[in-house]
Amino acid sequence: MNLDGLETPTLLDLYRRMQTIRLCEERLAKSHRQGLVHGACHTYVGQEAIASGVCAHLSRSDVV
């Protein structure tokens, strides 16, 4: 992995985003197992870097 050109604050921001996504997904999965969330539950665990990287480059005018 090449991190050249990425400064520490940027890397920390990406890491925080990944951690937030992981915690949310783990809580969602736990709630699903407990029967609090109904229907299918497909987590994003292990793919947090994709969302973090994409979202870091979105602007206010982008539509997702």
List, for residues 3-59, the tens digit of each pLDDT value: 788 899 999 999 999 999 999 999 999 999 999 999 999 999 999 999 999 999 999
Closest CA to 53 of 9, 11, 14, 10: 14
Instruction: Determine if the pTM surpasses 0.95.
Output: no
Q: Strand, coil or helix: what is 56?
A: helix
Provide the residue ranges of all domains of the chain, joining segments of one domain with +.
8-55
- What would you report as the CA-atom Rg of the chain, rounded to the nearest whole angstrom? 15
Q: Which residues contact 40 (CB under 8 A, 6 or more apart)?
A: none
Alpha-carbon distance of 8 to 46, in angstroms, equals 22
